[in-house]
Amino acid sequence: MGFLRYLCLFAVALLFCVTGCLNSERSPSAREGRDTEHRALSMVRASKGRLAPVYAPLAEQIASDFDLEGREGIGIDLGSGPGTLIIELCARTQLHWINADINPHFFPHFFKQAAQREFGGRVSAVFADACQLPLRNNYADIIVSRGSFQFWQDRTQAFSEIYRVLKPGGVAYIGRGFSRSLPVETARKIRGGGRLKYDVEKSADNLRHIMDILNISDYRIHRPKPPGAEDVNYGVWVEFHKPKGAVAQSRR
């Protein structure tokens, strides 16, 4: 029974992959396909290894900060990759979560993990470019993204799309790094070796600039820095809300 359920979920994932390829401007070459599969496998390994401690505390913070416990509706993780954050959010909310990612090679792994945690009926996946989301206006109650926005080709357009897809009254939490509750020693270990260094203040300024361009006034920049973390980059996040009476159209 478990195998049959996983087989059905895999078929759904494959359908999303095929649909995404048909809707794209061009089909990827065989080499591009191998490259995206390799990147997916590499990220899956990281999500089970070095990055594994990141997701549960972040899901706990998101669920608490935005009062998601017991709420129904739609949540989207944009650029979710292996979908590990979604799995943890499913454990803490009643929302239906969508893995929207430009690399469909993640989806079979994502559906398998969801089925193993008995969340298979509360997740979906869609082949999606952040700059042109294949989702209708006013669709999602919350959109989150961790470690993806720095790769978006046109960040202003991508944030405009996020705003469009949010329901009036919805919230987005987009950024890179860690939750404020991640233990400092854990964060320091993940950041070991000097990897992933970037200018946090420059990233924060860029996010503020995008919010100003899109005339989004209800936003906050978060730069987590728990006690003892002076030497550790905890990242940067932007939280913004779509007013309840907002017009559905794109902001750009």
Give the single-character DSSP code of 27: P
Q: What percent of the chain has pLDDT over 90?
A: 78
Predicted confidence (pLDDT) at residue 35 exceeds the cutoff of 90: no
Is 232 among the domain residues? yes
What average pLDDT does the segment 15-25 reach? 36
Going by pLDDT thresholds of 50, 70 and 90, the confidence category of residue 11 is very low
Closest residue by Cα to residue 232 from 242, 240, 223: 223
In a domain, 221, yes or no: yes
CB 190, CB 51: distance < 8 Å: yes
Structural domain boundaries, residue 213:
2-241
Model pTM?
0.86
Per residue in 224-238, pLDDT (tens digit) is 999 999 999 999 999
pLDDT of residue 51 exceeding 80, the answer is: yes
Give the C-alpha separation, 177 to 141, whole Å.
Answer: 23
Q: Determine the Cα–Cα distance for residues 134 and 128; give it in Å rounded to an integer.
A: 6
In a domain? residue 249: no
**CATH number for the domain that contains residue 205:** 3.40.50.150
Q: Is residue 250 part of a domain?
A: no
Q: At 34, is the pLDDT very low, low, confident or very high (cuts 50, 70, 90)?
A: low
Asked if the model's pLDDT at residue 164 lies above 50, the reply is: yes
Alpha-carbon distance of 244 to 122, in angstroms, equals 26
Number of domains in the chain: 1
pLDDT at residue 197, as a whole number: 75
